């Protein structure tokens, strides 16, 4: 059973990596109206600091996050004619990043620290040579994943 779960997880990770690679290679002109709607929805949820949004991939890949936020700003320009200058577009991108960072902080606060401590102890049993940096990264990753959030 566990082996099947691990295989599925590897498949899911491979699929996410493929989608991210496709997005990073995509030109803005390749987007369609459905893409516009999806990106604007993501942007609205980030501005609302909606912690139910799965932000792990954006957290884990800052280059993808930067392109995503720039795409959202560009779409807002094209759809709403919101910006007349690069400065205003940059301000929107910076605002998205600030709201994103606020979401991360909220997710950390909403993490069940007792469950996280238990999981960390189990992980350290299997990996007794875990460095302080690896431990810290694991804690951040688990918090941002939302897997251990308080109900």
pLDDT of residue 6: 64
Do you know the residue count of the chain?
Answer: 151
Report the domain count for the chain: 2
pLDDT of residue 7: 78
DSSP collapsed to 3 states, 34-71: HHHHHHHHHHHHHHCCCCCCCCHHHHHCHHHHHHHHHH
DSSP collapsed to 3 states, 91-114: HHHHHHHHHHHHHHHHHHHCECHH
pLDDT of residue 140: 87
Alpha carbon distance 35, 15 (integer Å): 19
Please tell me whether residues 118 and 77 are part of one structural domain: no
Alpha carbon distance 104, 49 (integer Å): 9
CB contact set of 149 (below 8 Å; sequence gap of 6+): 51, 107, 110, 111, 112
Please tell me whether residues 59 and 79 are part of one structural domain: yes
Please tell me whether residues 75 and 135 are part of one structural domain: no
Reported as a single tens digit per residue, the pLDDT across 40-81 is: 999 999 999 998 888 988 999 999 999 999 999 989 887 776
Please tell me whether residues 102 and 75 are part of one structural domain: yes
Please tell me whether residues 12 and 83 are part of one structural domain: yes
pLDDT of residue 138: 85
Please tell me whether residues 32 and 73 are part of one structural domain: yes
CB contact set of 30 (below 8 Å; sequence gap of 6+): none
Please tell me whether residues 51 and 123 are part of one structural domain: no
Please tell me whether residues 105 and 49 are part of one structural domain: yes
- Residue 149, phi then psi, degrees to nearest 5: -75, 150
Alpha carbon distance 107, 150 (integer Å): 10
pLDDT of residue 60: 92
Please tell me whether residues 62 and 136 are part of one structural domain: no
Please tell me whether residues 105 and 126 are part of one structural domain: no
Please tell me whether residues 148 and 85 are part of one structural domain: no
Please tell me whether residues 62 and 130 are part of one structural domain: no
Q: Domain range for residue 77? A: 2-109
Reported as a single tens digit per residue, the pLDDT across 84-140 is: 677 888 999 999 999 999 999 999 888 988 898 888 888 888 888 888 898 888 888
């Amino acid at each position: 059973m566990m082996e099947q779960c691990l295989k599925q997880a590897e498949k899911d990770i491979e699929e996410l990596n493929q989608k991210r690679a496709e997005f990073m290679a995509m030109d803005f002109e390749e987007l369609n109206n459905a893409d516009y709607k999806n990106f604007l929805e993501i942007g609205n949820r980030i501005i609302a600091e909606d912690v139910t949004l799965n932000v792990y991939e954006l957290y884990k890949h800052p280059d993808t996050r930067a392109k995503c936020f720039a795409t959202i700003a560009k779409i807002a320009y094209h759809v709403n004619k919101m910006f007349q200058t690069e400065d205003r577009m940059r301000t929107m991108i910076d605002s998205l990043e600030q709201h994103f960072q606020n979401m991360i902080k909220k997710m950390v606060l909403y993490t069940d620290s007792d469950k996280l401590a238990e999981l960390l102890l189990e992980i350290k049993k299997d990996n007794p040579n875990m460095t302080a940096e690896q431990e810290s990264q694991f804690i951040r990753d688990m918090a941002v994943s939302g897997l251990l959030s308080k109900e």
